[in-house]
Every structure is written in structure tokens, then in C-alpha cells.
Amino acid sequence: MTQHTILSRLMGEMIKYDSGDVKRIQHLVKVHDFARIIGIAEGMNEEELFVLEAAAILHDVGIHAAEAKYGNCSGKYQEELGPDEARKVLSGVEGFSDGQIERICWLIAHHHTYTNVTSKDHRILLEADFLVNSFEDNISTDGIIAFRNNVFRSHSAITLLNDMWNIKQ
């Protein structure tokens, strides 16, 4: 099975997991697409891109569990509960090695962690999520610029954000 096929099946499983929550589904499809665009532009190899794309599809998988257990879906609760939920979804899709699953779960457990970001996949996941959240959460232009300056590092992600919002500074 090719990695494209595996990711296509994972997307299907994740949409089934989120069934009825159309807003979340639209969110994860967009984050996955931005992550793929940035990952390719930043020169990721096939293996890195595969793990990044899977993590992007699954990154918010802890939201429903966080709402059920804690009554809110703050980033910290999502990070705590996301990996176990991700393993459930991943168990329905063949083709992931144990090492890949560990890295995907680590990324999910750190997708609201903005300090000490030292790895390319972690950085790109944060950038892709914000490219979508900057629109979905109605963030002000000042807020977008501040987040860009604090978190964004990938050249292609900075260009995408600036171009999307027509930011000249």
C-alpha cells in the first residue's frame, strides 16, 4: 500500500470519528493541506512528510475526549488526551510502524506547545494550524503578526500567512 493510500484511508477514518462535527472535519482537512504544502516547500523527505501529514489529520483528535472529561477543550487537555484517541483511530488503518505512531502521538501531545520548538515537523504543524485558526478564530491583524513573529519560522509558512492576509510588514 502506498503512503498516499494510507493517508487517504486515515482521512476517511478521522472523518468517521468526527462524524456530524462538520466544523472540525473542515478544520482538519485544511490543516492537513497547509501542512503538506509547507512540508514539501521546506524540503521534507517522504518519511517526514508522511508522519507530518498523519499528525495534521489527527492533531485535534483529543477535543471530544477533553470536552467529555473536563467540560472544556483547552489545549493542555487536548494534548493530554489526544494520543490515546489517535491510537484508536490509527488502529483502524494498516501501514503505520510503531515508530511512526510514536512520533505522530508526540506531535499531537505538543501541538499547543509553542516554546522550545526545535523540530521541523513540530514547527510546521503549529504553522499549518495557525494558518487555519487565524481565519476560523477571527484573530486581529495585530494578533496574527504577533503570532507569526513569535512562532513562525518556516520561510514558506511566513509567505503563505503574509500573502493570505495581505500583510506587508
Q: Which residues bind Fe ion (CB under 5 A)?
A: 60, 129
The CB-of-27 to Fe ion minimum distance in angstroms stands at: 6
Task: With both helix axes pointing from N to C terminus, report the angle between 3-17 and 46-58 in degrees, rounded to the nearest 10.
Answer: 10
Nearer to Fe ion, 98 or 137 (CB): 137
Nearer to Fe ion, 85 or 129 (CB): 129
Min CB(9)–Fe ion separation in Å: 21
How far is the CA of 155 from the CAs of 22, 44, 113, 118, 131, in angstroms?
31, 13, 20, 15, 14
Distance in angstroms (rounded) separating the CA atoms of residues 83 and 105? 5
Q: Which CB sits closer to Fe ion, 13 or 129?
A: 129
Comparison of 6 and 28: residue with beta carbon closer to Fe ion:
28
In the chain, the amino acid numbered 112 is H
As measured in angstroms, the least distance from the Cβ of 1 to Fe ion is 27
Instruction: Give φ, ψ of 166 to 5 degrees.
Output: 55, 45
Is residue 43 left, alpha or beta, with left meaning phi > 0 and alpha meaning psi from -120 to 50?
left
C-alpha cell at 113: 506547545
- Closest contact distance (angstroms) between CB of 40 and Fe ion is 20
